[in-house]
């Protein structure tokens, strides 16, 4: 299949990459661009490890073709930390503070799915958070701590602490 050059806007940076029409976004992000914070677990839309934000919405990059992502704003886990200081996003920090990162494989997807929810609804209920995370699987089964981390961030946000 004929390869072509496309431009991807990832974390506010434009990357020119040569892709074939069947290349998946997750593979291009990880292998060509080298942003390995995005994980590939199942590769078929079941685990949520490959979640990225596309125009602010949580999407599974293993189900997206790279060429279909051209012209959209893509954010990976690397893109939510402070790009100048390297300081973690307070939601990332909350995961660390609550011990919500075990093996860490699901964390980028968990954090980005939570972020997409909170950006849209800064005061989600516990049910809203559970619903937003239902497509993200944690093989360490650390769901309670993950929920606490997200709720703690929501609380800090509502108090204007972050
Ligand atoms: Fe995309 Fe599992 S790798 S959902």
Tell me, yes or no, whether 62 and 94 share the same domain: no
3-state secondary structure of 52: strand
Task: Tell me if 150 is assigned to some domain.
Answer: yes
| Residue-range definition of the domain harbouring residue 134 | 90-158
How confident is residue 1, by pLDDT bands cut at 50, 70 and 90? confident
Tell me, yes or no, whether 50 and 94 share the same domain: no
Task: Tell me if 84 is assigned to some domain.
Answer: no
**pLDDT, position 39:** 98
149 C-alpha to center of ligand 1: Å?
Answer: 22
What's the CA gap between 66 and 154, in Å, rounded?
A: 33
Cβ 60 under 6 angstroms from ligand 1: yes
Report residue 132 CA to chain centroid gap: 12
Report residue 147 CA to chain centroid gap: 16
Cα angle value 118/13/93 (rounded, 5°) = 40
Tell me, yes or no, whether 121 and 68 share the same domain: no
Tell me, yes or no, whether 73 and 95 share the same domain: no
Q: Decide: 112 and 61 in contact? Cβ < 8 Å.
A: no
Does the model's pTM come out above 0.90? Answer: yes
156 C-alpha to center of ligand 1: Å?
Answer: 30
Q: What is the pLDDT of residues 84-116, one digit of tens each?
A: 999 999 999 999 999 999 999 999 999 999 999
Residue 36 has pLDDT above 90, yes or no: yes
Cβ 139 under 6 angstroms from ligand 1: no
Tell me, yes or no, whether 12 and 39 share the same domain: yes
Task: Tell me if 85 is assigned to some domain.
Answer: no
Tell me, yes or no, whether 9 and 62 share the same domain: yes
What's the total number of domains in the chain?
2
Q: What is the pLDDT of residues 134-155, one digit of tens each?
A: 999 999 999 999 999 999 999 9
- Boundary (domain end) residue, out of 46, 78, 110: 78
Tell me, yes or no, whether 150 and 96 share the same domain: yes
110-127 mean pLDDT: 98
* Mutation test residue for ligand 1: of 44, 108, 113, the one with most atoms within 8 Å of CB: 44
What's the CA gap between 58 and 113, in Å, rounded?
A: 5
Helix axes 107-120, 90-97, angle to 10 degrees: 130
Q: Decide: 108 and 102 in contact? Cβ < 8 Å.
A: no
Tell me, yes or no, whether 11 and 72 share the same domain: yes
The token pair at 105 is 């494989």
Share of the chain above pLDDT 70, in %: 100
**pLDDT, position 70:** 97
Q: What is the pLDDT of residues 42-64, one digit of tens each?
A: 999 999 999 999 999 999 999 99
Tell me, yes or no, whether 56 and 115 share the same domain: no
Tell me, yes or no, whether 10 and 66 share the same domain: yes
Task: Tell me if 137 is assigned to some domain.
Answer: yes
Task: Tell me if 74 is assigned to some domain.
Answer: yes
Tell me, yes or no, whether 71 and 107 share the same domain: no
Task: Tell me if 129 is assigned to some domain.
Answer: yes
């Amino acid at each position: 299949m004929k390869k072509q050059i496309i431009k991807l806007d990832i974390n506010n940076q434009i990357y020119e990459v040569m892709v074939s029409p069947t290349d998946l976004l997750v593979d291009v992000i990880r292998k060509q661009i080298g942003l390995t914070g995005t994980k590939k677990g199942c590769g078929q839309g079941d685990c949520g490890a490959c979640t990225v934000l596309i125009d602010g919405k949580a999407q599974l990059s293993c189900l997206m073709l790279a060429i279909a992502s051209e012209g959209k704003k893509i954010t990976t886990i690397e893109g939510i930390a402070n790009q100048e200081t390297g300081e973690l996003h307070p939601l990332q920090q909350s995961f660390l503070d609550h011990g919500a990162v075990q093996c860490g494989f699901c964390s980028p997807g968990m954090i980005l799915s939570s972020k997409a929810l909170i950006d849209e609804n800064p005061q989600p209920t516990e049910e809203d958070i559970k619903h937003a995370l239902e497509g993200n699987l944690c093989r360490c089964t650390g769901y309670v701590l993950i929920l606490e981390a997200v709720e703690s961030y929501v609380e800090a946000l509502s108090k204007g602490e972050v």
